[in-house]
Amino acid sequence: MPVRVFGCNHIAIEADDMEKAIAFYQDVFGLELLKEGEGDAFFRLGEHQFLAIFRVDQIQPDRKRHFGIIVRDERQLAEVRRKVTEEYGLSLEPPFRCDFRDPFGNRIQVVTLEDESLVWLLPYREVQSLGIRFEEV
């Protein structure tokens, strides 16, 4: 019997300044802080997932590794772009619309609901609660 994967439980990233990391993720994405401890912080990231941030002494950014966050629409994507470039002085990384590295070198790709496969989004209560309906093709 093959293994059945139900989704992603969490994403773990690194930061060298936990106070700054917590402030960044709350400000840019409005994430709810679930727990903070000695050298770590955990945020709710959707219905069943969380983002774990662990403190490290030295940042070592990766070239291709990244994680993606879904926002509702182009307006919210534009707000993320504005915040990271204007308020945090971060650069967007082409060729995508909203790829950037957080202040700790972690690469993030932000997409909208319209960018994603509609089939796997349908069961998400967050999507259903927004009243979004997808037409069959």
Q: Looking at residue 48, which CATH number applies to its domain?
A: 3.10.180.10
* Tens of each residue's pLDDT in the chain, 137 residues: 775 666 678 899 999 999 999 999 999 999 999 988 878 999 998 777 899 999 999 988 777 788 888 888 889 999 999 999 999 999 999 888 899 999 999 999 998 877 655 545 555 566 666 666 655 54
Number of H helices, E strands in the chain: 4, 7
CA within 13 Å, CB half, 46: 20
Would you say residue 1 lies in a domain?
no
Percentage of the chain lying above the pLDDT 70 cut: 80
Domain that holds residue 120: 10-56+64-129
**Per-residue pLDDT tens for 65-75?**
888 888 888 89
Number of folded domains in the chain? 1
28 located within any domain: yes
Contact of 28 with 84, CB cutoff 8 Å: yes
Instruction: Identify whether 136 is part of a domain.
Output: no
* Distance from chain centroid for Cα 112: 12
Residue 23 lies in a domain: yes
Farthest-apart Cα atoms in the chain, separation: 51
**CB 25, CB 17: distance < 8 Å:** no
